[in-house]
A and B are shown apart, each in its own frame.
Chain A
Amino acid sequence: DTGVSQDPRHKITKRGQNVTFRCDPISEHNRLYWYRQTLGQGPEFLTYFQNEAQLEKSRLLSDRFSAERPKGSFSTLEIQRTEQGDSAMYLCASNLGDRENYGYTFGSGTRLTVV
Chain B
Amino acid sequence: AQTVTQSQPEMSVQEAETVTLSCTYDTSESDYYLFWYKQPPSRQMILVIRQEAYKQQNATENRFSVNFQKAAKSFSLKISDSQLGDAAMYFCAYSREGGSEKLVFGKGTKLTVNP
Cβ of A100 < 8 Å from any Cβ of B?
Answer: yes
List chain B residues, Cβ under 8 A from A91. 45
Pick from B6, B95, B100, B103: contact of A98, CB below 8 A: B100
A14-59 with Cβ < 8 A to chain B: 31, 33, 35, 40-45, 48, 56
Q: For residue A107, which residues in chain B have a CB less than 8 angstroms away from its CB?
A: 44
Which residues of chain B from 75 to 104 have a CB within 8 Å of any chain A CB?
91, 93, 95, 97-100, 102-104
**How many A-B residue contacts, CB cutoff 8 Å?**
68
Please tell me if A96 contacts chain B, counting CB pairs below 8 Å: yes
Residues of B within 8 A of A4 (CB): 44
Q: Does A72 contact B (CB under 8 A)?
A: no
B102 / chain A contacts, CB cutoff of 8 Å: 33, 45, 48, 56
Interface size on B, residues (CB 8 A): 26
Q: Which of B1-54 contact A (CB under 8 A)?
A: 4, 6, 9, 33, 35, 42-47, 50
Instruction: Tell me whether B43 and A104 are in contact (CB under 8 A).
Output: no
Q: Is A103 an interface residue (CB 8 A)?
A: yes
Residues A97 and B46 in contact in the complex (CB < 8 Å), given A41-B108, A42-B105: no
**B99 near A96 (CB under 8 angstroms)?**
yes
Whole-angstrom CA separation of A93 from B107 in the bound complex: 18
Within 8 A of B (CB), among A56-115: 56, 91, 93, 95-104, 106-109
Residues in B with CB closer than 8 Å to A31 are 99-100
Given A3-B44, A48-B102, A104-B47, 15 other A-B contacts at CB below 8 A?
A4-B44, A33-B103, A41-B108, A42-B4, A42-B93, A43-B105, A45-B102, A93-B45, A98-B98, A99-B99, A99-B100, A100-B99, A102-B50, A102-B98, A108-B42
